[in-house]
Amino acid sequence: MIRTEGVTDVTEETFEAEVLESALPVLVQFTAEWCGPCRQLAPVLGAIARQEADRIRIVQLDVDREPGITVRYGVLATPTLMVFRAGEPVRSIVGARPKRKLLKELEDVLAPAGPTEPHRP
């Protein structure tokens, strides 16, 4: 598994607690040791994990070691980034991206939930 500071490894045993039951949205990187673009994406995800720690968690799942979850969510390519909110997948992104582009694609996921305007009577 590609080790990245700020990015947690998940398995079949930890997926429910770490991803599906998380209070924050979770970005899951479906990755593999042999995946070149996954290696390119690792520092980008590490930087986002540190920068946005209060708004999103980032985890990685090895597709070769955890084929059950990979098949369950229809992942056919690596890297696939899947965002889960309240236990449900809400976004899927395939392929590596630079940090700026990935943050742009995640803007709505990173936005605070609920009304953005204060309630005025």
Out of 19, 35, 41, 44, which one is annotated catalytic? 35
> Exposed/middle/buried for 22, CB within 10 Å: 0-12, 13-18, 19+?
middle
Distance, CA of 13 to CA of 39 (rounded, Å): 24
Distance, CA of 44 to CA of 27 (rounded, Å): 13
Out of 2, 7, 28, 38, which one is annotated catalytic? 38
Contact 28, 61 (CB under 8 A): yes
Is 38 assigned a catalytic role? yes
Is the backbone of residue 27 left (phi > 0), alpha (psi -120 to 50) or beta? beta
Catalytic residue ranges: 35, 38
